[in-house]
Chain A
Amino acid sequence: MSAAIDMGIFAETVFAIAEEVFTAMIDPEPGALQPALEPTELSEDATWAWVDVHGEHPGRVMLGTDHDTAMLLTRALLAVPEDEAVSEADFVDAVGEIANVVGGNIKALVPDPGPLTLPQVAPVPPGDGATLLHRAQLVWRGHPLVITLWSLS
Chain B
Amino acid sequence: MRALVIDDSRTMRRIVVAALRSLGFETVEAQHGREALDVLESGEEVDLACIDWNMPVMTGYDFVVATRANPEWRDITLMMVTTESEHGQIVKALAAGAHEYLIKPFTPDAIRDKLQLLGLVEYEETA
Q: A residues bordering B, Cβ < 8 Å?
A: 20-21, 23-25, 77-78, 89-90, 93-94, 96-97, 100-101, 103-105, 107-108, 113, 115-118
| Also in contact, A97 and B14, with CB within 8 A (given A104-B84, A116-B54) | no
Per the 8 Å Cβ criterion, residues 69-93 of B in contact with A are 82-86
Q: B residues bordering A, Cβ < 8 Å?
A: 8-12, 14-15, 54, 56, 82-86, 104-107
| Also in contact, A104 and B104, with CB within 8 A (given A25-B15, A116-B83) | yes
A93 to B10, CA, bound (A): 7
Instruction: Find out whether the CB atom of A118 lies under 8 angstroms from the CB atom of B105.
Output: no
Residues of B within 8 A of A21 (CB): 105
| Also in contact, A105 and B54, with CB within 8 A (given A78-B14, A90-B11, A94-B11) | no
Instruction: Find out whether the CB atom of B11 lies under 8 angstroms from the CB atom of A77.
Output: yes
The interface centre, meaning the residue of A78, A94, A101, A107 with most chain B CB atoms within 10 A of its CB, is A101
| Also in contact, A20 and B11, with CB within 8 A (given A100-B83, A104-B83) | no
Instruction: Find out whether the CB atom of B10 lies under 8 angstroms from the CB atom of A89.
Output: yes
Residues of A within 8 A of B56 (CB): 118
CB nearest neighbor in B for A26: B105
Residues of B within 8 A of A105 (CB): 83, 85, 104-105
A78 to B9, CA, bound (A): 12
A107 to B54, CA, bound (A): 14
Instruction: Find out whether the CB atom of B11 lies under 8 angstroms from the CB atom of A93.
Output: yes
For the complex of A and B, list the 3 residue pairs with the smallest distance between their C-beta atoms, beginning with the closest.
A104-B83, A24-B105, A94-B11
Instruction: Find out whether the CB atom of B85 lies under 8 angstroms from the CB atom of A24.
Output: no
A23 to B15, CA, bound (A): 14
Instruction: Find out whether the CB atom of B11 lies under 8 angstroms from the CB atom of A115.
Output: no
| Also in contact, A118 and B83, with CB within 8 A (given A20-B105, A101-B104) | no
A104 to B103, CA, bound (A): 10
Instruction: Find out whether the CB atom of A115 lies under 8 angstroms from the CB atom of B83.
Output: no
A-B contact pairs, 27 of them (CB 8 A): A20-B105, A21-B105, A24-B105, A25-B15, A25-B105, A78-B14, A90-B10, A93-B11, A94-B11, A96-B9, A97-B9, A97-B11, A97-B12, A100-B9, A100-B104, A101-B83, A101-B104, A104-B85, A105-B85, A105-B105, A107-B83, A108-B86, A116-B54, A116-B83, A117-B54, A118-B8, A118-B54
CB distance from B62 to the nearest CB of A (A): 13
CB distance from A90 to the nearest CB of B (A): 7
Residues of B within 8 A of A117 (CB): 54
Beyond A100-B9, A116-B54, 15 additional pairs, beta carbon < 8 A: A21-B105, A24-B105, A24-B106, A24-B107, A78-B14, A89-B10, A93-B10, A93-B11, A94-B11, A96-B9, A97-B12, A104-B82, A108-B86, A116-B84, A118-B56
